[in-house]
Structure 1
C-alpha cells in the first residue's frame, strides 16, 4: 500500500466513528478544483455511475509514468467528495504501477463501514476501479 494511502487509513482508524465522519468532511473540503485546462472539457471525464452523486474523473499518466487524478463531485455531496479527495491526495505522485497495486478493498479499510452506507463505499471502490482502468488504458496507448 502506498505510504500516503496508508497514512490516511491510519488517521481514520485512530478516530471514533463520529470523528471519522468529521475527517471525511474535512477531506471533502480539500478536493482540488480542476486545472484550467480541463474546466471546459467535460468530454474528457468519465462518469462514475456507481456513485449516487454526479461524479466524473479523468486520469493523466505523464511521460515519467506518474499518475495525476482529477475528480469533480458536487459540494452538496460531502461523503462522495471526501472519498474523491482521499483518492486524489493518496494517489498523488504515484507511478502507474503503484496506482495499479492499490488494493481494491482500500475503501473498506478506512473504518467507515458503520458510518456510511455500503452503497457509498461501493462508490468509492468504483472511483478507484475507474482510475485504475484509465491508467491501464492510457499506458497501452502510450
Structure 2
C-alpha cells in the first residue's frame, strides 16, 4: 500500500502564496482538523512562539480529495537556491500536440497574470515557471 503524503512550501508571505497556488491547482483552504472550528483554535494547542499567527501558514487541499495536501509555512530565511523538488501542473485535455501545447501556453499566461513568471519554455513540451516567491514549477500537458 502506498503512503499518503503532503507537500510543504516554505515562504515569506503565506497568504500571497496560498492565493497563487489555489488558483494554479484549483485547491481550496483545508478546514481545521476536528473538533476545531478555526485554524487559530487548532494552533492554540501548540506551544508556539508569541509572534507566530495563523497568517504564518496556509493549508490547502484538493476539493475532490485526490491530490496531496499543500502546506505553506512562513520561515525566517529567504529562498537561496533552486528547488530540489518541484510541482508539475498538468493541463487536462486531449487533441493534437498543437492543441495540447496551446492549452499549456494559455495556462502559463493565466498564471503570469496571477503573479507567476516564465523562466524557460521548452516548445511543445513544458514551460518552467516560478511562483510569486521564486519557487520553480512546470506547466505541461496531462498524459494523453
Normalised by the length of structure 1, the TM-score is 0.27
Q: Which structure carries more strand by proportion? A: 2
Larger Rg: 2
Higher relative contact order (CA 8 A, sep 6+): 1
Q: Which structure carries more helix by proportion? A: 1
Normalised by the length of structure 2, the TM-score is 0.26
